[in-house]
A = this chain, B = another copy of it.
């Protein structure tokens, strides 16, 4: 199993979610993070203009079976790319074990509902 962590634009979240569902990836978790990077937003607060390099983003955490890794990454890139600085990153790491709390199932089994 692999964990895919994708840090994307907030405004692209709905597109990414829909694309993932179309790809058959129905399970994941996400939360809001703040990204520090080259993309900057300019703000003014009470007369002090400032550049902020911290931008609100969405972090997606998706654990997939190895065979789904490739297509999931492709789906995310496709849906979240604008071509402008600040599109975000995707990181892949290894997951050693997985459990479905409801049933106690382990491993790949726990990742999808067998029909």
Contacts and interface: CB of A to CB of B under 8 A. Distances in A.
| Copies held by the complex | 3
Contacts of A63: 89, 91
The interface size bin for chain A is 35 or more
Given A30-B33, A94-B94, A89 B77 contact: no
A93 B3 contact: yes
Contacts of A26: 36-38
Point out which of A76, A95, A110 has the most chain B C-beta atoms below 10 A from its C-beta.
Answer: A95
Contact of A87 (B34, B35, B90, B101): B101
Grouping DSSP codes into helix (H, G, I), strand (E, B) and loop, the A interface class, with mixed when no group exceeds half, is: strand
A34 to B, nearest CB: 6
Contact of A101 (B3, B76, B104): B76
20 contacts: A3-B93, A6-B101, A27-B37, A28-B35, A29-B33, A29-B35, A30-B33, A31-B34, A38-B113, A81-B102, A81-B104, A82-B102, A85-B102, A87-B100, A89-B100, A90-B98, A91-B98, A93-B95, A94-B94, A94-B96
